[in-house]
Structure 1
Amino acid sequence: MKILVIEDELLLSESVKSILTEHGFEADTVSDGAEGLIYAKSGAYDLLILDVMLPGMNGIALARQLRKERCGMPILMLTARSELLDRVEGLNAGADYYLTKPFDERELMACVNALLRRQGAEVNQLSFGNTSLDLDSGTLLCGERELRLSAREFDVMRLLMQAKGKNLRKEQILSRVWGFDSEATENHVEVYVGFLRKKLKSIGSDLSIVSVRRLGYHLESPSEGG
């Protein structure tokens, strides 16, 4: 799971990143609101931790813009202000929860986990057609046969499974798996899709990873009407 932290207080930003990393999350930090908006819109993150007072663009405006563009990523808003009207403003702008500074590590992680559970992050297995992906072990399962995937293969397969047959653009897969700032190219996506096709075939899966020109990839299965 990848989390974006937009916070201009360097010590707090690095502290939050360290806490998240210790709990098994990947985290990127940005200190400017306008730059943070670009990162947040990339589709590379599962959760946004957002400060209210930011240079470039404040957190309220940033959250409002994300919701205007129908970005459904959960937003945990941080602020030094605890007044009711401030909290209401943040929630009305699209934040899912409001955490007042200073906060305890346990309180932060309780909020993060609650918001991710709300997104279905507690599911341990994804299924499509006659095939499942075990999220704990990174293993593809089909009947009695199973095959462990590499980290990159797992990330690509998870996105395709979560899409439930909908198209994913190559740039979406690239940003979610390799990261917003990665030097990887769309050719990397093509290579790993090729790896996955071979592995699906080797375990007798009825899944096909279908390529659609200019639209990307999606899964099809006879048992899913595909």
Structure 2
Amino acid sequence: MKILIIEDEQLLADSIGELLRGKGFDVEIVYDGESGAQYAELGVYDLLILDVMMPKMNGYEVARQVRAKRLGTPILMLTARSGLEDRITGLNAGADYYLTKPFDTRELLACINALLRRQGAQVDEITFGNTSLDLDSAMLVCGENSIRLSAKEFDIMRFLLQAGERNLSKEVILARVWGFDSDAVENHVEVYIGFLRKKLASIGSNIRIAAIRRMGYHLEVQDDD
């Protein structure tokens, strides 16, 4: 399960991240609302943990922007503002639960587990067209044919499948797969997209990785003819 923490108090954000990683979650952290909205809108997270008072964009605005994109990702708001009107504003903005600071870590974990349970059982494969990606084995499967992906191929393919027909820029793929601190360049993305296209073709997939100049990549399903 992937969780995005959007919190400008770095010590608190990092401590929550460490706690959740210890529970087996895949966690990413950003420290301002504007960056948080950009990450959240990728649609690849199972839960957003969102502070209210942040620089650049507050949590209410982030939640509204996420919901405006028709993303149903559960949102857990963390804030020191415990007034009734504040809670109502948060819920109306799109939050699913409103937890006030300071909070007990047991309560935080209980809230997270409750919100994730609403999402149903953890997904173990992603399907698009006639092709599925098995998240446990990193196998790309089409009918009776299958092929194993390398770690980077798996990360990019999962990212593309989760985005579906939405464009992902090379910059976003670089940041998400290689990380902000990496020396990788856009050519690395192009090379791995080439690998994935060959592997999709080798198993008879009807998925096409389409490229749009200056926009990035998205998936399409090819017609049988």
Per the normalisation by structure 1, the TM-score is 0.76
What does residue 130 of structure 2 align with? 130
| Correspondence for 1:37 among 24, 34, 51 | 34
What per-residue deviation string (whole Å, max 9, x for no partner) do you get for residues 86-124 of structure 1? Answer: 211222233232112333434323433554566678322
What per-residue deviation string (whole Å, max 9, x for no partner) do you get for residues 141-168 of structure 1? Answer: 1223322222221121122223334443
Kept in 2: contact 1:52–1:60 (CA 8 A): yes
User: Partner of 2:34: helix, strand, or coil?
Assistant: helix
Kept in 2: contact 1:74–1:115 (CA 8 A): yes
Cα distance in 1, alignment partners of residues 30 and 14 from structure 2: 8
Q: Report 1:89-128 matches (<5 A).
A: 89-115=89-115, 122-128=122-128
What does residue 50 of structure 2 align with? 50
Change (3 A) 1:147 1:15: same
What does residue 20 of structure 1 align with? 20
What does residue 8 of structure 1 align with? 9
Kept in 2: contact 1:21–1:27 (CA 8 A): no
What does residue 80 of structure 1 align with? 80
Cα distance in 2, alignment partners of residues 211 and 61 from structure 1: 31
Cα distance in 2, alignment partners of residues 20 and 83 from structure 1: 27
Kept in 1: contact 2:8–2:55 (CA 8 A): no
Cα distance in 1, alignment partners of residues 9 and 162 from structure 2: 33
Instruction: State the AA in 1 paired with 2:38.
Output: K
Cα distance in 2, alignment partners of residues 89 and 209 from structure 1: 41
Kept in 2: contact 1:40–1:48 (CA 8 A): no
Cα distance in 1, alignment partners of residues 30 and 220 from structure 2: 37
Instruction: State the AA in 1 paired with 2:37.
Output: A
Instruction: State the AA in 1 paired with 2:142.
Output: C
Change (3 A) 1:163 1:121: farther
Kept in 2: contact 1:169–1:216 (CA 8 A): yes
User: Partner of 1:159: helix, strand, or coil?
Assistant: helix
Q: What stretches of structure 1 of length at least 5 have no aligned partner?
A: none
Instruction: State the AA in 2 paired with 1:132.
Output: S
Q: What stretches of structure 2 of length at least 5 have no aligned partner?
A: none
Alignment RMSD: 3.3
Instruction: State the AA in 2 paired with 1:219.
Output: L
Kept in 2: contact 1:8–1:55 (CA 8 A): no
Q: What's the CA shift for 1:200? A: 1.9
What does residue 151 of structure 1 align with? 151
Cα distance in 1, alignment partners of residues 165 and 51 from structure 2: 36
Q: Is 2:220 the counterpart of 1:220?
A: yes
What does residue 199 of structure 1 align with? 199
Per the normalisation by structure 2, the TM-score is 0.76
